[in-house]
Structure formats: structure tokens, C-alpha cells
């Protein structure tokens, strides 16, 4: 059975900015930036899993919506899916990450070109740039 990791493309529609989170572990990706999220548990929907993960990792609430881009195969049996999300709580805090930052389309493009994103998440950059345009 396939396991799914969901990640949040949290976008502020007013400022057209996307929230990125800097990974603290494991060493291969520590220091790189990702869309925050985590594994879907048995019996959980993707949206509710993402809302739970964001409460745990960022101490805030989101409303998760439609899928962004295509699913990425992390390894056989493990897929990564991004969902668009809207902040619905207090400002996010880095409870599980090294740091958080809001980026606009230009900054996202520059970070991707510089290899500052977690490899799996770079597949979504074109889709994310479209949402931030
Ligand atoms: N992951 C990823 N990109 C994300 C979120 C997670 O590549 N935006 C990967 C890293 C791990 C797995 O998913 O291989 C589980 O993530 P975590 O360690 O955050 O639970």
C-alpha cells in the first residue's frame, strides 16, 4: 500500500507570498527549504492530515484545499503530494524547523536556481510560480 506525505503550499493571497520552512534534519537535507507537512495516518484524509501536521509543526491553523502540481515519488511506496492552503490562525512559528520565511515569486525562483530547496519540492516550482504570479 502506498503511503502519502502531504505538504502545504501556504499562500498569502494579499501579499502573493508563499511560506517556506527550513529543515533541521536529516543531515542530507538539513538547511534546505521545504513546504512543511508530514505523513498521512491510516484513516485520515490528506487535508486533515495536513491541518494536523501544520498545527504540530507551525503552531497554527490552515484551511487545506486543492492539490498543487503532480505527486512526487519519494521512494517506492511513498508519495509526496502538495495541497494549496490558506492561513487561518496566528502567525506560524518554527516549532520543528530551523526557520520560516515568506517568499515572493522572484525569491522562490532564485532559491530554486541556487539549489536551496529540498530536491523533491523543486518539481512544484513552476506550479507555485503560477500561483504567486
Ligand atoms: N518531504 C519532502 N518534502 C516536503 C516534506 C517532506 O521531501 N515538503 C520528505 C522528507 C521525508 C518524508 O517526506 O523523506 C517525511 O517527511 P518528515 O520527515 O517531515 O515527516
pLDDT digits (tens, 9 = 90+) for 14-44: 999 999 999 999 999 999 999 999 999 999 9
**Domain 3-123 falls in which CATH fold?**
Nucleoside Triphosphate Pyrophosphohydrolase (3.90.79)
Asked if residue 93 has a cis previous peptide bond (ω within 30° of 0), the answer is no
The residue whose CA has the least distance to atom 20 of ligand 1 is 38
User: Residue 74 Cα, ligand 1 centroid: separation in angstroms?
Assistant: 8
| Domain residue spans of the chain | 3-123
The complex's ipTM works out to 0.93
Against a cut of 0.90, is the pTM above it? yes
- Dump pLDDT digits (tens) for 40-78: 999 999 999 999 999 999 999 999 999 999 999 999 999
What DSSP line would sit under 38-92, residue for residue?
A: EEPPTT--HHHHHHHHHHHHHSS-EEEEEEEEEEEEEETTEEEEEEEEEE-SSPP
Mean pLDDT, range 99-114, rounded to an integer: 98
CB 69 less than 6 A from any atom of ligand 1 = no
Amino acid at each position: 500500500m502506498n503511503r502519502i506525505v502531504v505538504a502545504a503550499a501556504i499562500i498569502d493571497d494579499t501579499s502573493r507570498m508563499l511560506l517556506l520552512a527550513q529543515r533541521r534534519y536529516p543531515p542530507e537535507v538539513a538547511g534546505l527549504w521545504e513546504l512543511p507537512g508530514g505523513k498521512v495516518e491510516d484513516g485520515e484524509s490528506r487535508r486533515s492530515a495536513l491541518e494536523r501536521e501544520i498545527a504540530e509543526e507551525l503552531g497554527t491553523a490552515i484551511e487545506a484545499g486543492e492539490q498543487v502540481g503532480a505527486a512526487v515519488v519519494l521512494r517506492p511506496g511513498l508519495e509526496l503530494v502538495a495541497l494549496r492552503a490558506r492561513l487561518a490562525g496566528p502567525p506560524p512559528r518554527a516549532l520543528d524547523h530551523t526557520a520560516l520565511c515568506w517568499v515572493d515569486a522572484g525569491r522562490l525562483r532564485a532559491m530554486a536556481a541556487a539549489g536551496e530547496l529540498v530536491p523533491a519540492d523543486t518539481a512544484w516550482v513552476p506550479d507555485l510560480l503560477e500561483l504567486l504570479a
